Structure 1
Amino acid sequence: MGKGDIEAGFPDVHNDGLYPSMIESPQLRWGFIRKVYVIISIQLLFTAAFASIFIFISPVRNFAKYNPNRFFVFFGAAIVTIIVLFVLSKYYKKHPVNLFLLGLYTLGMSVTVGFACAFVDAKIVLEAAFLTGVVTASLTLYTFWAVKRGSDFSFLGPFLFASLMVMLLFSLIQVFFPLGPTGRMVIAGIGALIMCGFIVYDTDDLIKRFSYDDYIWAAIAIYGDIINLFIYLLTILNDL
């Protein structure tokens, strides 16, 4: 082991400094990271394509906005997504069941995104998508840069969880006691900040703590952060 490795505190010659706390081949870790981002990219492309149907195809858009049965479709998709997520938490390492469940989860999330986009002008959707991409890329690059220099973001976990619970409580209050556009913007702004924190936290986990067999769960975590960030930014832009 070289002097630089000793001074940097790396425990093994296989550690290249990207994730100081892990003793494994950098090739294996980078392969895992690439695999996760390939899955996320496929999920996002599918969601974008599915949401575009709600934006550009008038019958689908009108169904989402005016048809009385739209509530059954929307809430049905939401319930299925939650159930699939729960099942995935038990079987995310079991192939090929995990891939099938991942597809169902992505479809459910895509339906939710599609309904959200149906009520918003296409220009605003594109603006929200662009901002989401810029913020996600910036936070991801920052996290990789910071972790390479020894930073650890695991401390964010309890704060993010507590913040999410508080925000969900206010969202529930908003359902029964509407606070108007200003209230929606405040809640969406807080939600966007929380999702930014989750992107950093989950990317930190991706680099240092997820095992190689956790690729499905890692993809779900980051994909969910990105989608929720997009929804919150869409809400803010629509209420401006």
Structure 2
Amino acid sequence: MKKVAPEVNTVAGSLPPSYAEANTGCPSYCYADGTFSWEDKNIRRIFIRKVYSILMLQLLVTVVVVAVFTFSTPVRYFILTHPELYSLSNLLFLVTYLTLACCGDVRRQFPWNLILLTIFTLCMACMLGCVSSFYNTKSVLLCLGITAVVCVCVTLFSFQSAVDITSFQGVLFTLCMVMICCALVMGFVVPFGYVPWMHALYGVIGAIVFTMFLAFDSQLLMGNKQHSLSPEEYIFATLTLYLDIVYIFTFILQLFGGGRE
């Protein structure tokens, strides 16, 4: 016998809506199935603004602390006579840095991520203040100005250039290995005497490496290169940019800073 498919009777309006109908009015950062997309340009702009807003606050706090340690004679004397403050700041810096860098759940959890980032920034600012107190005031101001110019130029280049610096991971790794080798050599040489040209070479290499890291991390924010950061990682992005700028300053200070008399 010939089989006949059963007839399905439908009532007008009882059919489920299509994807287009169901997602009418859905924002552009949603996929057709309603899931969330981090690749939307508006989301990326908000992410970048958030990162640089937090970064500006970090740098402002750091500059204020360094200025107090540099210009205030009582504070500078207290630091020079109490080296344990530097050790305590260094310890808290390592703990907060490792927590934020290695624990993804912690750095995404509000408000603990901001609390840890605040502690990290204050510790790093105190450490920079302790280091800056050994240098001449004019040298510190000169190095701050050079660092600001370098960072602004590198950031503008990173955002405007078509060169994908995020693909230069091998170059950055090689430069880091060179820095480690130089540090090991200096560790063996320094006990036998100060070698000015070796310290200058190490400072130049360090400044170049972290300038490239600043360009690399800046392009990770853009989201249109080979590698990019998720907008969830605004704390990690701020952390890396801040450290890049701080290390650029320390290496420039090592090159151009003059000791106090």
Q: TM-score, normalised by structure 1?
A: 0.83
Give 2:113's match in structure 1, choosing from 87, 95, 98. Answer: 98
Identity of aligned residues (%): 29
RMSD: 2.0
The answer to whether the 8 Å contact 2:38/2:44 transfers is no
Distance 2:247 2:139 in 1: 16
User: In the alignment, which residue of structure 1 is the partner of 2:255?
Assistant: 236
User: In the alignment, which residue of structure 1 is the partner of 2:235?
Assistant: 216
Q: Deviations over 1:137-174 (max 9, x none)?
A: 1111011111xx4x321222233234224313422442
User: In the alignment, which residue of structure 2 is the partner of 1:206?
Assistant: 221
Give 1:86's match in structure 2, choosing from 70, 76, 98. Answer: 98
Distance 1:176 1:76 in 2: 27
Question: Relative to total residues, which structure has the larger helix share, 1 or 2?
Answer: 1
The answer to whether the 8 Å contact 2:66/2:125 transfers is yes
User: In the alignment, which residue of structure 1 is the partner of 2:160?
Assistant: 145
Segments of structure 1 that go 5 or more residues without pairing to the other structure are: 1-12, 15-21
Distance 1:182 1:59 in 2: 34
User: In the alignment, which residue of structure 1 is the partner of 2:60?
Assistant: 45
The answer to whether the 8 Å contact 1:55/1:118 transfers is yes
**2:73 equivalent to 1:73:** no
Indicate the structure (1 or 2) with the bigger Cα radius of gyration.
2
Distance 1:139 1:228 in 2: 14
Give 2:41's match in structure 1, choosing from 9, 20, 26. Answer: 26
- Offset at residue 84 of structure 1 (A): 0.8
1:108-127 equivalent positions in 2, closer than 5 A = 108-127=123-142
Distance 1:158 1:101 in 2: 31
Secondary structure at the counterpart of residue 92 of structure 2: helix
Segments of structure 2 that go 5 or more residues without pairing to the other structure are: 1-27, 30-36
Query: Which structure 1 residue ranges, 4+ long, deviate > 4 Å from structure 2?
Result: none
Change (3 A) 1:76 1:162: farther
Distance 1:28 1:174 in 2: 46
